[in-house]
Structures are given as structure tokens and as C-alpha cells.
Amino acid sequence: MKKIRTLKLKFDLPLEKRQTPLLRGAIASKVGLKHDLFHNHPTEAEAKTDYLYRYPLIQYKTFFDKAGVFCLEDGTVEIHKLLSAEDWRIKLGQEEVELKIEDLDMNLFTCQVWQHKFTYKIFAWLPLNSKNFEDYTRTESLAKRMAMLERILIAHILNFAEGVKWNVDQRIELDIVEVHKERTLYYKEIGFKAFDLVFKTNVSLPSQVGLGKASSAGFGVIRPWKIKREEQRRRARVGEVEPDSF
């Protein structure tokens, strides 16, 4: 069991999901590139690679088509470097905009392996790298493909656990129960096979946390999944829940 701090910050700033990397660059530049939790790239003094291969504790997202940030553990403290800034103007691409907080929500969440399972949906999940993409496409059996994705998703949960310093000492169980979408999405101008799917696992995970590749840029977001799809669509139309499109 591990209790982790989370902070969801929503700005009154319309943002398309494809612009999320621009938001990350703008906020990282605003607070200063020496604060690497905002961008996960090494500083000039420590630069040995172009990227720090660690789980992102500050993640950039959209909430109901508004710009947002989701922070975990040390990220909930580091975000104050932005919140304490006197000037909240940022340069989003070529446009200068001003950040205004629309909603701020802090929580203490218990991550734990249980004897029962929870149901989640993961959106725009990027599970496949160059190697396992070849393995996936060569596999004709749907059951074997799903088993492969289940193993990768468990690995991504363990990567999250390592990032928040949670030592998982029990067996994680996970089953994919529905695949809602499978398509190509682009990140850094490279196309990746992306999935929206529903899974059950015996791990409790915080809503809005990102799993897998590019989780810092709004990919692989999970949410608890309890309502039927038709009901979700109806509620999305009236603004009660966020649509599940990317």
C-alpha cells in the first residue's frame, strides 16, 4: 500500500489535445528549464542523454477541452514554482496567453493491490515500441495480441509504481475486457498505434494518471469506468462527463 499526493489543476484556457506538448514546453520555459520535473529533460550540467527515462510526476492534459496539469508526489510541490509566479503569461506556440485557474483539486490517494478488481478505461494509450510493434503485427491470434497488451499494461503500472516509490510486493492481475478504438496517433511527428480500451485490475489507481509512452503529454490517461457507453455519450452531450475522444 502507498498513499500518494495528487493535484489536478485546470486552467480557463481552451486547448486541443494535440497542443498538449506545446503546453508542456510553455510551462517548462516559464518556470525555468533547470526544474526538470516540468519537462523530463536533463539540465545542461547533467546532459548525457536527451531525455530522463523516469516516470513523469508532472503531466499535461486537457480537461473538458481546457488546459490542465496533473501532478503526483514531488510534482505537487514542484508545481508551486508555477503557482507562485507573479506573471502568468506563457507563449503557447506563437501565441501569448495568460493562465487563469478554473479548478484546483488536491487529494491523497491510496494505491494498493486488492483481492477484488477495479474497472478502468485508458485513453490514447501507446503500448508499442519499434520492437514489440513487430511482434504485435506478426501475431495473428487476437487472444495472443490481448495477452501481449495485458503484459505491457502491467509493466506500465509497475513503472508508475516505481515513479511514486511504491514497492508492489503482490501479484498484479489484469484483464482487457473491451477495445473501443485502435488507430494511429502522432507524437513528435511519429505515428504510433494507439488504443482506447477497458480493463480490470486488482490495483487501485488514481483517476487521470497517465500510463505508458508520452504519459506526460496527455497519452494513456485512465479513468474509472462504471457507466455504460450509451449513458456516457448522453452525459457527454450535456456536459456531465468528458467525451472519450482524442
Q: Which amino acid is at 201?
A: T
pTM: 0.88
pLDDT of the residue at 234: 58
Model pLDDT for residues 162-210, shown as the tens digit of each residue: 999 999 999 999 999 999 999 999 998 899 999 999 999 999 999 999 9
Q: How far apart are CA 57 and CA 35, in angstroms?
A: 12
Identify whether the C-beta of residue 108 lies closer than 8 Å to the C-beta of residue 3: yes
Q: What percent of the chain has pLDDT over 90?
A: 81
- Three-state SS string over the chain comes to CEEEEEEEEEEEEECCHHHHHHHHHHHHHHHCCCCHHHCCCCCCCCCCCCCCCCCCCEEEEEECCEEEEEEECHHHHHCHHHHCCCCCEEEECCEEEECCEEEEEEEEEEEEEEEEEEEEEEEEECCCCHHHHHHHHHCCCHHHHHHHHHHHHHHHHHHHHHHCCCCCCCCCCEEEEEEEEEEEEEECCEEEEEEEEEEEEEEECCCCCECCCCHHHCCCEEEECCCCHHHHHHHHHCCCCCCCCC
Q: pLDDT-based confidence at 240, cuts 50/70/90?
A: low
Q: How far apart are CA 236 and CA 223, in angstroms?
A: 15
pLDDT of the residue at 245: 47
* Domains by residue range for the chain, with CATH: 2-108 (2.40.30), 112-237 (3.30.70.1900)
